[in-house]
Chain A
Amino acid sequence: MTDTELEQKILKYLSTVNMAKNKSVATAVGVEKSIVDKAISKLAKEDKIEYVYLGTSYVKLKGQQ
């Protein structure tokens, strides 16, 4: 899987949920968490995802209700 494919997969998964922890994203896309963490950081820097804090931190698609 290329980086871009992984990012697409992550975005696709996030479009199916309200919000998720990085760990559940990694499980969902079936890729090692440390790699998923890096991809999520990159997506954050590209302003495609944002973070929610509710007792712990989650990520979600930017602007998704």
Chain B
Amino acid sequence: MSESETPRLDQLETGPWPSFVSEIKKMAGRKPAARDLLRQMELSYKDRVTHWKHGGIVGIRSYGGGVIGRYSDSPEQFPDVAAFHTIRVNQPSGWFYSTKALRQICDIWEKYGSGLTNFHGSTGDIILLGTTTEKLQPCFNELSDEAGFDLGGSGSALRTPSCCLGPARCEWSCIDTLDLCNDLTHSFQDELHRPAWPYKFKIKISGCPNDCVASIARSDLPIIGTWRDSLRIDQEEVRKYAADGFDIENEVVALCPTDALEWDEKTLTLKLKAEDCVRCMHCINRMPKALRPGLERGATLLIGGKAPIMKGAFLSWVLVPFMPMTPPYTEFKVLVRKIWDWWDENGKTRERVGEVIERLGMARFLRDVGLKPLPQMVFRPRANPYVFWRSEQK
């Protein structure tokens, strides 16, 4: 019996969770690159450092992103991953696929690449993991011309927008997340494909405040569906929950963050002080048959969310408490272009929009993009007395 080349990785083939090592091995027989990937990873598992180098210039003609260049630091040892570039392919809204489309991608990727993928990468793209410099262009040509797919974003550009499945299968979506995501992606192809900004810019779209795509933490400009009127209550269905033994008092009313609900044991009615509701979704999540979002729907826009690099992580801040979101989304598009121009003009290299706002002040940002200050934008007003007045205000 021949000894395994990858004794360490082999240990990740045991256990109940599906194994990525088995996945790489599936391709290793047909694809030398997959085999060298395994062998190089085995080396990393042995000496506990990465064996990839910084990327170089690789790309698709006309595009400034969508390909992540990757080279092995030990090409003599692992010649078949000497160049192992990644292609980001823009996913359809909501990550819905026909098997026909998926099979086309598989066939193209088997022809031109390692046969390894991520479904999906962190930003939401399909990641085609590993091919050589020469194969990039023909692979793209076939993806585009035959399969109808395009590249996603990378670098200092708009990154591939993504969204929750929204109205396709969720009863709570207050906006058409799929259409909005698709529309914005198609409208901003130049911003997506030819990086011209200080750094990256992410837009993510969730249909309701449950924020299933983590937009508030993961995007510079989250769009979160919401409603302005009162959430809807079907008292008949509420009574059915109660009759089934569901503890409305403790599991719903007591957990409302703003004390906006009251459960009347006698009349078996759930009462809502609509003006106190902050639309957190908790009660709706617990009683989906009885409670539903309101009917006057739109989105809350926020700004500035990001991971720690460089100056620390931010959760996004409320920017527009309510904006109706109907095609062709003109009001949104006008605003986002103003925001990009402001950021592009004022931002230093590698500064995200949230960091520029922190450095120059939210008040100035609002003024420059033409938005009024509103109490919904802050948890509480300032406590310090260091207040600026502009000359025209004095």
Within B44-98, which residues are at the interface with A (CB < 8 Å)? 54-55, 57, 59, 61-65, 69
Q: What DSSP secondary structure best describes chain B's contact surface?
A: loop
Tell me which of B64, B157, B349 has the highest count of chain A C-beta atoms within 10 A of its own C-beta.
Answer: B64
A57 CB, min distance to chain B CBs, angstroms:
4
| Set A21, A34, A45: member contacting B341, Cβ < 8 A | A34
Q: Does A56 contact B (CB under 8 A)?
A: yes
B387 CB, min distance to chain A CBs, angstroms:
33
Within A29-53, which residues are at the interface with B (CB < 8 Å)? 33-34, 37, 40-41, 44-45, 47, 50-53
B89 CB, min distance to chain A CBs, angstroms:
18
B70 CB, min distance to chain A CBs, angstroms:
12
In the docked arrangement, what's the CA distance between A56 and B157, Å? Answer: 9
Tell me which of A40, A44, A47, A57 has the highest count of chain B C-beta atoms within 10 A of its own C-beta.
Answer: A57
Q: Does B36 contact A (CB under 8 A)?
A: no
| Set B61, B64, B194, B349: member contacting A47, Cβ < 8 A | B61
Instruction: Pick out which of these stretches binds chain A: B24-32, B111-119, B178-186, B195-203.
Output: B195-203
State whether A57 and B59 are in contact (beta carbons under 8 Å apart), knowing that A33-B345, A51-B195 are contacts in the complex. Answer: no
In the docked arrangement, what's the CA distance between A50 and B56, Å? Answer: 12
Q: How many residues of A contact B (CB 8 A)?
A: 21
B154 touches A56 (CB 8 A): no
Q: Does B344 contact A (CB under 8 A)?
A: yes
Q: Does B155 contact A (CB under 8 A)?
A: yes
| Set B55, B156, B199, B344: member contacting A33, Cβ < 8 A | B344
Chain B residues whose C-beta falls within 8 Å of the C-beta of A52 in the assembled complex? 57
A53 touches B154 (CB 8 A): yes
A57 touches B157 (CB 8 A): yes
B57 touches A57 (CB 8 A): no
B residues with a Cβ closer than 8 A to A are: 54-55, 57, 59, 61-65, 69, 154-157, 190, 194-199, 341, 344-345, 349-350
B190 touches A41 (CB 8 A): yes
Residue ID in chain B nearest A45 by CB atoms? B62
16 A/B residue pairs, CB under 8 Å, sorted by A: A33-B344, A41-B194, A45-B62, A47-B61, A47-B62, A50-B57, A51-B63, A51-B155, A51-B194, A53-B154, A53-B156, A56-B350, A57-B64, A57-B157, A57-B196, A60-B57
A53 touches B55 (CB 8 A): yes
B64 touches A56 (CB 8 A): no
State whether A55 and B196 are in contact (beta carbons under 8 Å apart), knowing that A45-B62, A47-B61, A47-B62 are contacts in the complex. Answer: no
In the docked arrangement, what's the CA distance between A41 and B344, Å? Answer: 16
A residues with a Cβ closer than 8 A to B are: 21-23, 33-34, 37, 40-41, 44-45, 47, 50-57, 59-60
Chain A residues whose C-beta falls within 8 Å of the C-beta of B350 in the assembled complex? 55-56
In the docked arrangement, what's the CA distance between A55 and B55, Å? Answer: 10
In the docked arrangement, what's the CA distance between A3 and B236, Å? Answer: 68
B64 touches A51 (CB 8 A): yes
Chain A residues whose C-beta falls within 8 Å of the C-beta of B344 in the assembled complex? 23, 33
Chain A residues whose C-beta falls within 8 Å of the C-beta of B196 in the assembled complex? 22, 33, 37, 40-41, 57
Chain A residues whose C-beta falls within 8 Å of the C-beta of B59 in the assembled complex? 50-51
B156 touches A57 (CB 8 A): yes
Tell me which of B54, B57, B194, B341 has the highest count of chain A C-beta atoms within 10 A of its own C-beta.
Answer: B194
Residue ID in chain B nearest A53 by CB atoms? B155
State whether A40 and B194 are in contact (beta carbons under 8 Å apart), knowing that A50-B57, A51-B155, A57-B65 are contacts in the complex. Answer: yes
B57 touches A51 (CB 8 A): yes
